[in-house]
Amino acid sequence: QVQLLQSGAEVKKPGASVKVSCKASGYIFADNANHWVRQAPGQGLEWVGWINNADGDTRYSPKLQGRLTITRDTSATTGYLELSGLTPEDTATYYCATNAFDLWGQGTLVRVSS
Amino acid sequence: SYELTQPSSVSVSPGQTARITCSGDVLAKKYVRWFQQKSGQAPVVVIYKDSERPSGIPERFSGSSSGTTVTLTISGARAEDEADYYCYSAADNTLGFFGGGTRLTVL
């Protein structure tokens, strides 16, 4: 079954870090790339970053550069998004998607609250 | 700058044609994808490369491009088409960006 399965919801305090996983199955993970997209409650879609799973090359939103790290483990066919220095403005549902956006994970809600 | 501008809302009656525009300087040389997002669900691509329709997307969805504006057209809109629609493009360095989204109301 072709799918992206993300880790569960997280609640973090301001200043903390969060790491969200995205496990791919049913296709050749290393031949593809993944995007990460987030959506704050009631707001629009925001592109977060991208990783080429073949060589680990990454691109990050300038807005999040410096706090964001996207990695992958090809043996585990899993991608990871790590965001540090969390603020309440980072509260959102985080999605992973394939390079053509034809397959999406179910989303991971990250809530930042003191 | 990489900015895509969409109307915040569009409203049509069932059976009418809905048109949603997306404007930005980068669109003169970059393709757009259109996403449909229904409440509580992940987005779905309805148009890619400005005017290509993925398999499984109804023929009433079409896309066109002129200069720095692309348009998503839904011919004969149905109640089930009510959703938020986003345009998306990418810069030369693969940085992506979405438009602000358009709420389509069909009633």
* Cα–Cα nearest to A83, from A98, A70, A99, A93: A70
CA gap A55, A42 in Å, rounded: 35
Task: Report residue A41 as tokens.
Answer: 């409650």
Percent of chain B as helix, strand, coil, to the nearest 5:
5, 45, 45
Position B43 scores a pLDDT of 97
Residue B94's pLDDT band (cuts 50, 70, 90): confident
Highest average pLDDT, of A24-33, B1-10, B40-49, comes from B40-49
Position A88 scores a pLDDT of 97
Average pLDDT over residues A41-56: 96
Interface contacts (A, B; CB < 8 Å): 46
Position A28 scores a pLDDT of 87
Residue B93's pLDDT band (cuts 50, 70, 90): confident
Identify which of A61, A104, A106 has the shortest CB distance to residue B43: A104
Q: Check A62 against B42: CB less than 8 A apart.
A: no
pLDDT tens-digit series, residues B26-71: 899 999 999 999 999 999 999 999 999 999 999 999 999 999 999 9
- DSSP H helical segments within B1-107, as ranges? none
DSSP β-ladder status, A108-112 and B83-90: unpaired
pLDDT at B1 exceeding the cut of 80: no
Position B59 scores a pLDDT of 97
Q: Check A100 against B48: CB less than 8 A apart.
A: yes
pLDDT tens-digit series, residues B9-29: 999 999 999 999 999 998 999
* Cα–Cα nearest to A96, from A80, A85, A110: A80
pLDDT tens-digit series, residues A55-113: 999 999 999 999 999 999 999 999 999 999 999 999 999 999 999 999 999 999 999 99
Tokens 């691509």: give the residue. B45
Identify residue B70 by its one-letter amino acid code.
V
**Do residues A47 and B97 make contact, with C-beta atoms less than 8 angstroms apart?**
yes
